[in-house]
Amino acid sequence: MKIPFVDLHAQYLTIQPEIDAAIAAVIRDSAFIRSPHIDRFEEEFAATVGVKRCVSCANGTDALYICMKGLGIQAGDEVITTAHSWISTSETITQAGGRVVFCDTDEETFTIDPAQIEAKITPRTVGIIPVHLYGQSADMDPILEIARRHNLWVIEDCAQAHLAEYKGRQIGTMGQAATFSFYPGKNLGAMGDAGALVTNDEKLADWACLYARHGGKGDHQIEGINSRLDGLQAAILSVKLPHLRKWTEGRREVALSYDDVLGRIPDIRIPAVAAERTHVYHLYVIRTEHRDALQAHLKAQGIATVLNYPKALPFYKAYAHLGHRPEDFPRAYAHQSRILSLPIYPEMTSEQIGYVHHQIAEFFAHGLFTSLPTSIAPAGR
Ligand SMILES: *Cc1c(COP(=O)(O)O)cnc(C)c1O
């Protein structure tokens, strides 16, 4: 049996007639750029998140960059973000002219540890970017409270957590602005690159519209950039959006089944869901001391797994100039050598899930790891 990490084609097959018709309509109307499909998806997505405005753009990385520019970031301004994320979160801070200040993570949820944020604040700090990693919200109340006290903005990076909730509030509604990615493998995925920012701040949304579209069509009020959602992607996303809740439930069912079986294996720590939060399982990430050996075993049995991510951000060469050491971010550093993302997608069959259960149980039951020690990844500097 072969189990892919995600199966985008399986999802397409469940909605093929709708997708094909939507693509055909865009082609028929040559509605590739700035078409009604874009306005429609923006309205639908804003309503889904529960905010006033959605401004679509080319990808989730651009959404972060545009937000920071819109919030007025200046050269040398410091932005605090998590040590454990995809590099979009931090690279856009630099791209927008700011300085990245990393913060360690929470032991259980892998999201930014609010207790460590305040010590990172300096007179140059302007904002905080929490990431709702793997599909679970960061601990927003203390983050928002620190931000209020120090007059900082908060941008929620929601790329992995469409529809997740924190104390009954949907993610994307709590900061000054929030950003989403619709990269094909995300919980709501286009068939190419796509992204959006959402906000209740009308002025920020108006500015982002101008900026992302050359500073205004015909009448350029500012110099902008070209970061547009295209008509095909918008039409595809509008077809997929009504299915998102059902797909999210599908992910939860896979996760519950994994929890049930893997939770009984002492060598595995299954993902924890913090009180009053809901998890949408963009990724199902276990921890084990035998990570590398388990990954090799699963690969040999046809099961694809991924490391999200092989290193915590401060330990990549891209950030060597910051001179960080493992003891600066002990949790993020410890996690990087133990995390393993298992296959998860709404269309996974019970046979596929059962096969993953079985192969993992076999590995631990037979002590297949004893001859293969897990290598602790070096800090990369
Ligand atoms: C995917 C992702 C992004 C960026 O999205 P793209 O659409 O690929 O540019 C940003 N932040 C996080 C945490 C992500 O997972």
Instruction: Quick: pLDDT tens for 80-104.
Output: 999 999 999 999 999 999 999 999 9
The answer to whether residues 136 and 165 belong to one domain is yes
Residue 189 has pLDDT above 90, yes or no: yes
For residue 186, how far is its CA from the centre of ligand 1 (angstroms)?
9
Residue 368, pLDDT score: 74
The answer to whether residues 79 and 204 belong to one domain is yes
Query: Would you say residue 1 lies in a domain?
Result: no
The answer to whether residues 101 and 35 belong to one domain is yes
Query: Would you say residue 256 lies in a domain?
Result: yes
CB 186 within 8 A of CB 344: no
- In the chain, pLDDT over 70 holds for what percent of residues? 97
- The whole-angstrom separation of Cα 205 and Cα 70 is 8
- The whole-angstrom separation of Cα 240 and Cα 275 is 30
Short-list 243, 305, 232, 301, CA closest to 268: 305
The answer to whether residues 84 and 115 belong to one domain is yes
Q: Give residue 145's domain range.
A: 8-242
Residue 367, pLDDT score: 78
Residue 75, pLDDT score: 98
- The whole-angstrom separation of Cα 351 and Cα 127 is 46
How confident is residue 378, by pLDDT bands cut at 50, 70 and 90?
A: very low
Query: Would you say residue 377 lies in a domain?
Result: no
Our measurement of the distance from residue 120's CA atom to the centroid of its chain's CA atoms, rounded to an integer in Å, reads: 23
Domain stops at, among 208, 242, 276 = 242
For residue 43, how far is its CA from the centre of ligand 1 (angstroms)?
22
- The whole-angstrom separation of Cα 195 and Cα 191 is 12
Residue 380 has pLDDT above 80, yes or no: no
Strands 125-129 and 99-103 turn out to be unpaired
Domain stops at, among 187, 214, 242 = 242
Residue 282 has pLDDT above 90, yes or no: yes
The answer to whether residues 237 and 249 belong to one domain is no
Residue 218, pLDDT score: 78
For residue 181, how far is its CA from the centre of ligand 1 (angstroms)?
5
Residue 381 has pLDDT above 50, yes or no: no
Q: Tell which atom from ligand 1 comes closest to the C-alpha of 282.
A: 15
Residue 204, pLDDT score: 98
Looking at the chain, which runs of residues are DSSP E strands?
A: 53-57, 78-82, 99-103, 125-129, 153-157, 165-166, 169-170, 177-181, 195-199, 284-287, 339-342
The overall average pLDDT reported for the chain is 96
Query: Would you say residue 378 lies in a domain?
Result: no
The answer to whether residues 162 and 66 belong to one domain is yes
Query: Would you say residue 73 lies in a domain?
Result: yes
The answer to whether residues 211 and 304 belong to one domain is no
**In the numeric block, which tokens belong to residue 233?**
């992607």
CA gyration radius, the chain: 21
CB 224 within 8 A of CB 215: yes
Instruction: Check residue 111 and report its DSSP letter.
Output: S
Before 309, cis peptide (omega within 30)? yes
Most ligand 1 atoms within 8 A of CB, residue of 160, 181, 229, 281 to mutate: 181
What is the sign, positive or negative, of the torsion defined by CA atoms of 252, 257, 261, 264? Answer: positive
**In the numeric block, which tokens belong to residue 280?**
């949408």
Q: How many domains does the chain have?
A: 2
Query: Would you say residue 381 lies in a domain?
Result: no
How confident is residue 142, by pLDDT bands cut at 50, 70 and 90?
A: very high
Tell me the mean pLDDT in the region 280-287.
Answer: 98
CATH code: domain of residue 345 = 3.90.1150.10
Short-list 191, 192, 196, 198, CA closest to 181: 196
Looking at 61-166, which runs of residues are DSSP E strands?
A: 78-82, 99-103, 125-129, 153-157, 165-166
Query: Would you say residue 64 lies in a domain?
Result: yes
Nearest-CA residue for atom 5 of ligand 1? 60
* Whether the predicted model's global pTM rises above the 0.85 cut: yes
Residue 370, pLDDT score: 61
Residue 377 has pLDDT above 50, yes or no: no
Q: Tell which atom from ligand 1 comes closest to the C-alpha of 186.
A: 1
The answer to whether residues 337 and 189 belong to one domain is no
What is the sign, positive or negative, of the torsion defined by CA atoms of 331, 334, 336, 342? Answer: negative
Residue 74, pLDDT score: 98
- The whole-angstrom separation of Cα 327 and Cα 346 is 38
Tell me the mean pLDDT in the region 65-77.
Answer: 98
How confident is residue 301, by pLDDT bands cut at 50, 70 and 90?
A: very high
Strands 165-166 and 169-170 turn out to be antiparallel
**In the numeric block, which tokens belong to residue 243?**
């299915």
The answer to whether residues 303 and 277 belong to one domain is yes
Query: Would you say residue 201 lies in a domain?
Result: yes
The answer to whether residues 114 and 257 belong to one domain is no
How confident is residue 349, by pLDDT bands cut at 50, 70 and 90?
A: very high
For residue 274, how far is its CA from the centre of ligand 1 (angstroms)?
23
The answer to whether residues 113 and 15 belong to one domain is yes
CB 102 within 8 A of CB 316: no
Tell me the mean pLDDT in the region 188-195.
Answer: 98
Tell me the mean pLDDT in the region 206-219.
Answer: 92
Nearest-CA residue for atom 10 of ligand 1? 88
For residue 85, how far is its CA from the centre of ligand 1 (angstroms)?
9
Our measurement of the distance from residue 192's CA atom to the centroid of its chain's CA atoms, rounded to an integer in Å, reads: 16
The answer to whether residues 82 and 228 belong to one domain is yes
Give ligand 1 pocket residues (Cβ under 6 A). 59-61, 85-86, 88-89, 131, 157, 159-160, 181, 183, 193, 195
CATH code: domain of residue 87 = 3.40.640.10
The DSSP bridge partners found for residue 80 are 101, 128
Residue 199 has pLDDT above 50, yes or no: yes
Domain stops at, among 227, 242, 257 = 242
Short-list 361, 167, 133, CA closest to 265: 361
187 CB-near residues (< 8 Å, 6+ apart): 135, 160, 161, 162, 163, 244, 247, 248, 251, 280, 282
Residue 249, pLDDT score: 98
For residue 157, how far is its CA from the centre of ligand 1 (angstroms)?
8
